[in-house]
Amino acid sequence: MNKSINLSSVILARNEEKKIGRAIASVSFCDEVVVIDDNSSDLTPNIAKNKGAFVYNRALDNDFSGQRNFGLSKAKGNWVLFLDADEEVSKDLANEILKKVTDSKNPYDGFYLKRRDNIWGKNLNYGENGNTKLLRLAKKGNGEWVREVHETWNIKGRIGTLDNYFLHYSHQTLREFIDHVNYMSTLHARSNMKEGKKSTLVKIILWPKLKFINNYILRGGFRDGIYGFVVALIMSFHSYLAWSKIWLMQKKTDKIK
């Protein structure tokens, strides 16, 4: 490991030519920026290179933890910050990160970062999309990413939480949001099948309703106005799709048996 590099940022990207420049600019405080590109067909890798990032091409193959671990292997810093191409680190968070990773008395081995979603130009402050904490900053060599979907970074040691947030510019059109939900629900269903989880009619009917109630009422999504309602509704639809797809996969498996 090159000790002159204290902080690396790893960015995952695919066909994000409109957003990759902003993401890279937001982590300019890092000693190096590594972009793992998933066979983009647009100018994403070219823009990343022109912005000074080290770019590596690797097919995602629906394995997010594998992609992040590959990025981890390419990072040279003592600390690694993970970002997606549609995300942006705020200036306040950048300053907070720098203070932590340069503090010799810092007792933590990793940090949860708060993420705030921006949908259709609106910052969500409530619901699951307005109250997300993700383990995205940690010392290199302290753990690996696990699970193909909804991946987590298993870090050994003490984990803290930073005060400031980063932005997630996701789903800037309704069609983009629904397409993403359809794609992710399929991956989620496959992952749950591998883990032995089963779907039932009760789950297909009940979980989407509970998801909506949790997002819109219990987590205060109604306070985000119409945006909060639409997001809660679509996330409920995601739950319906995921459990329905698991049920269909079970039926196919039963026929094979």
* Amino acid (one-letter) located at 104: S
Q: How many other C-beta atoms can be found within 10 angstroms of the C-beta atom of residue 157?
A: 12
| Nearest one of 207, 179, 172, 194 to 249, comparing CA atoms | 194
| CATH entry 3.90.550.10 includes domain 7-169 | yes
Say what the pLDDT of residue 1 is. 42
Q: Return the pLDDT at 2.
A: 44
Contact 43, 64 (CB under 8 A): no
Domain spans, the chain: 7-169, 174-256
- The answer to whether residues 125 and 202 touch, using CB atoms and an 8 Å cutoff, is no
CB 134 within 8 A of CB 115: yes
Q: What is the pLDDT of residue 252?
A: 79
Alpha carbon distance, N-terminus to C-terminus of the chain: 50
pLDDT, residue 254, reads: 66
Question: CA triplet 148, 40, 187: central angle to 5 degrees?
Answer: 25
**Token reading at 256:** 């094979």
**Phi-psi category of residue 191: left, alpha or beta, with phi > 0 → left and psi -120 to 50 → alpha:** alpha
Does the predicted model carry a pTM greater than 0.85? yes
pLDDT by 10s per residue, the chain, length 257: 445 789 999 999 999 999 999 999 999 999 999 999 999 999 999 999 999 999 999 999 989 999 999 999 999 999 999 999 999 999 999 999 999 999 999 999 999 999 999 998 889 999 988 879 999 999 999 999 998 788 999 999 999 999 999 999 988 788 989 998 998 899 888 888 888 889 999 999 999 999 999 999 999 999 999 999 999 999 999 999 999 999 998 887 766 55
